[in-house]
Amino acid sequence: MAKKALFEQKITCPVCENGFTITRVRSSACFVLRRESDFRVKYRDLDPLLYSIWVCPNCQYANMENEFVKGLSENDKKKLKTELPPLKSSEPDLWHERTPETALRAVHLALRSAIIRQAPAIVMAGLFLRGSWIFREIGNTEMEKEFLGKAKRLYEYSFEKESNRYLEQMGQARVMYLIGELNRKLGNFDDAVRWFSRILSNRNMVVEPDLQRLIRDQWEVAREEHKKGSAGEPQEEKKEMKPVEISIVLGHEQAEWLKHVVQRSFEYHGARIEDAEIIKVIIELLAEKYPDLALKSVEELKNLLAV
Ligand SMILES: [Zn+2]
């Protein structure tokens, strides 16, 4: 790797105000090889993706380089200042030349910061997408898919429920295309086709010619793959589940415990345990402990849990 392509820059952490030096990639040293269908840009020699997340060595606040300083509100800073120190972990060198493995640590730390400050789903989606690109780079297909799946769900959530500057910057059509393409990559061809057609059938939507071409190409690929019968990629399992609304009031200690469980999952697995998954485990444990459980009402469950 050409050392001259890298340079150092002094940064002040917006959370703890510690000064540190990070390594950046000179854009003049980057040569684009190709653009992949999920917006991953492949470069020759040097991969700027590995350096795209900055990490403060003191408080371990981490974020995308263009969001690191200006992307935080005062409230975000306050939350990070209180909640990061107890989570401080021992990390590899993230401030000089990076490997895909060290870059993945930076992604995990950025996800941790994003969860603490309750960043919009689209921000989290972008981090998972970047993580999946790095896993693709090192040939870890299983983790690549896991991260793609998380990115897909978060983009879908963001598209349906959020309205923020990130969505505006990216543009509706690009977000919709990405959801379609991630579905295709995960083997959900029907969903992929549905998202692609939703964009092209909307006459009011502004779609740049390049993106239009990409949508038509990937639509065709999805149709072909569908005909071939998933091309060896398993369809993402679809579970028909009736939504059940459960409201749970947690005491302070219980809430702290839950937060701890969610944050520790980052330390070990680099992924967030969703609240719904925790509830699922609790229900499964209950079912295991009381295999013959047949409850007729919520009251009966309440009584059982109170024992
Ligand atoms: Zn800091």
Can you tell me the distance from the alpha carbon of 69 to that of 271, in angstroms, rounded to the nearest whole number?
24
- Could you count the other beta carbons within 10 Å of the beta carbon of residue 108? 20
Say how many Å lie between the CA of residue 20 and the centre of ligand 1. 9
For helices 252-269 and 275-289, give the axis angle rounded to 10 degrees: 100
Amino acid, res. 283: I
Six token digits for residue 280: 């699922």
Say how many Å lie between the CA of residue 12 and the centre of ligand 1. 8
Say how many Å lie between the CA of residue 70 and the centre of ligand 1. 14
Can you tell me the distance from the alpha carbon of 196 to that of 73, in angstroms, rounded to the nearest whole number?
35
The pLDDT tens digits for 261-288 are: 776 665 555 556 666 677 777 777 777 7
Say how many Å lie between the CA of residue 108 and the centre of ligand 1. 16
User: What residues contact 280, with CB distance under 8 A and at least 6 apart?
Assistant: none
Say how many Å lie between the CA of residue 15 and the centre of ligand 1. 5
Say how many Å lie between the CA of residue 74 and the centre of ligand 1. 14
Predicted local confidence at residue 169, as pLDDT: 86
The pLDDT tens digits for 156-201 are: 999 998 888 888 888 999 999 999 999 999 999 999 999 999 998 9
Q: Please give the DSSP secondary-structure letter assigned to residue 190.
A: H
61 in Cβ contact with 112 (< 8 Å): no
Say how many Å lie between the CA of residue 13 and the centre of ligand 1. 5
Can you tell me the distance from the alpha carbon of 180 to that of 186, in angstroms, rounded to the nearest whole number?
10
250 vs 6, higher pLDDT: 6
Say how many Å lie between the CA of residue 107 and the centre of ligand 1. 16
| In the predicted structure, residue 110 carries a pLDDT above the cut 80 | yes
| In the predicted structure, residue 307 carries a pLDDT above the cut 60 | no
Q: Which helix (H) or strand (E) holds 33?
A: strand 31-35
Say how many Å lie between the CA of residue 17 and the centre of ligand 1. 6
Return the exposure string of 166-196: e unless at least 16 CB atoms fall within 10 Å of the residue's CB, then b.
bbeebeebbbbbbbbbbbbbbbbbebbbebb
User: What residues contact 166, with CB distance under 8 A and at least 6 apart?
Assistant: 120, 122, 123, 126, 158
Say how many Å lie between the CA of residue 77 and the centre of ligand 1. 10
At 22, phi and psi to the nearest 5? Answer: -120, 160
Work out the burial of residue 198: count CB atoms within 10 Å of its CB; fewer than 13 is exposed, 13-18 middle, 19 or more buried.
Answer: middle
Say how many Å lie between the CA of residue 243 and the centre of ligand 1. 41
Length of the chain: 307
Paired strand residues for 21: 10
| In the predicted structure, residue 99 carries a pLDDT above the cut 80 | yes
